[in-house]
Amino acid sequence: MKDDLGDDVVLSGLPNRVVSLVPSLTEAVAETVPGVLVGATDYCTHPAGLAVPRVGGSKYPKVDAVLDCAPDLVLGNAEENRPEDVRRLREAGIAVWVTAAPATVPMALESLRTLFTRAFDVAVPTWLTEAEDAWRDTPAVRVRAVVPVWRKPWVVLGRDTFGGDVLRRLGVHNVYAGHADRYPRPTVEQLRARFADGDAELLVLPDEPYVFTDDDGPDHFPGVPYALVSGRRLTWYGPSLADARAELEAALANVRTR
């Protein structure tokens, strides 16, 4: 088999000892193939109560800890995990399936469909078809937004991001969608200028990877309307997508100013 990047993944049978280095994949595997996870990152918070050994962060996993789990398959992502860690695992004889960084919701769901039907040889999960139905339509643009995902320095969603496509399917246009970078790093002055010039009307602030709150984020943009949204609902692709639309729509409707 080949993963999303076209690399060979050789399995001797169906995987039953899996380490996931990606929080959204951890949730998806736990929901779809219960009992196979034997390791996950410190940031794998769902499902709640997942009792498996932790192997460090997504970007900097403890490779020796992964190997100690004796996995027959490790799941990674091209954007979240470093190539050198993937290479070290493969050199140790571990099969690693790397998913691509999806630019759209359909791309993400197709990647998951391939992973589960091929690597795990299971039927397409119900949550996946529900997510496909929930996110099929794209309404007209109703608001133009800036979407920071980090501060110190400021980092925003740019071109070809999954979170940007989620917002697009909610009628929110990301004003940095045409930027050359996927994650531009504008100064706070440049961000403020977007609102002052009328390019943007809304500041969308997720609670991960940076934890934006009413007291941390909006204070840098006095008078600018903002909405706090769940980072998991915005950026994770997996079971949470099936009912993410209603939660995100409610959060985007709860606009406030400082």
Instruction: Residue 201: give its domain's CATH number.
Output: 3.40.50.1980
Domain membership of residue 2 (yes or no) is no
58 and 236 Cβ atoms separated by less than 8 Å: no
For 82-96, write each residue's pLDDT tens digit.
999 999 999 999 999
Q: Which residues make Cβ contacts (< 8 Å) with residue 133, sequence separation at least 6?
A: none
Residues 167, 73, single domain; the answer is no
Q: In the prediction, which pLDDT does 146 show?
A: 98
Could you list the beta-strand ranges (E) of the chain: 18-20, 37-40, 73-77, 96-99, 143-146, 148-150, 155-156, 172-174, 202-206, 226-229
What confidence tens digit (pLDDT) does each residue in 122-181 have? 999 999 999 999 999 999 999 999 999 999 999 999 999 999 999 999 999 999 999 999
Does any domain span residue 169?
yes
Within-domain flag for 163: yes
What average pLDDT does the structure give for the chain?
Answer: 97
pLDDT score, position 141: 97
9 occurs within a structural domain: no
Do residues 128 and 144 both lie within one domain? no
What gap in Å lies between CA 86 and CA 81, rounded to an integer?
8
71 and 36 fall within a common domain: yes
> What are the pLDDT digits (tens) for 4-56?
999 999 999 999 999 999 999 999 999 999 999 999 999 999 999 999 999 99
Q: At a CB cut-off of 8 Å and minimum separation 6, what does 5 contact? A: 78, 98, 100
Question: Averaged over 248-254, what is the pLDDT?
Answer: 97
pLDDT of residue 25: 97
Percentage of the chain beyond pLDDT 70 is 100
CB 153 within 8 A of CB 35: no
Which band of pLDDT confidence, cut at 50, 70 and 90, is reported for residue 194? Answer: very high
Q: What are the Cα distances from residue 198, in Å, to 42, 195, 224?
A: 41, 5, 11
Within this chain, do residues 249 and 173 fall inside the same structural domain, yes or no? Answer: yes
One domain, residues 211 and 163: yes
Q: Point out the domain boundary residue: 133, 149, 172.
A: 133
Whether 42 and 72 map to the same domain: the answer is yes
Considering the domain architecture, whether residues 164 and 109 belong to the same structural domain is answered as: no
**Does residue 99 share a domain with residue 125?**
yes
Could you tell me if 13 and 22 are in contact, meaning their C-beta atoms sit under 8 angstroms apart? no
Q: Can you tell me the distance from the alpha carbon of 12 to that of 215, in angstroms, rounded to the nearest whole number?
A: 52
Q: Do 163 and 246 reside in the same domain of the chain?
A: yes
- Domain finish residue from 133, 152, 183: 133
In a domain, 58, yes or no: yes
101, 133, 165: which is the final residue of a domain?
133
pLDDT of residue 210: 96
Residue 182 lies in a domain: yes
What's the domain count of the chain?
A: 2
Q: DSSP readout, 191-232?
A: HHHHHHTTS--EEEEESSSS--BTTBSGGGSTT--EEEE-HH
- One domain for residues 71 and 103: yes
Is residue 145 domain-resident?
yes
Q: How high is the pLDDT of residue 223?
A: 97
Tell me, yes or no, whether 8 lies in a domain: no
In whole angstroms, what is the distance from residue 218 CA to residue 108 CA? 30
My answer on whether 22 and 73 are in the same domain is: yes
Residue 158 near residue 176, CB atoms below 8 Å: yes
Which segments of 15-71 are extended strands (E)? 18-20, 37-40
Looking at the fold, whether 123 and 216 belong to one and the same domain comes out as no
Full-model pTM: 0.94
Quote the domain boundaries for residue 44.
18-133
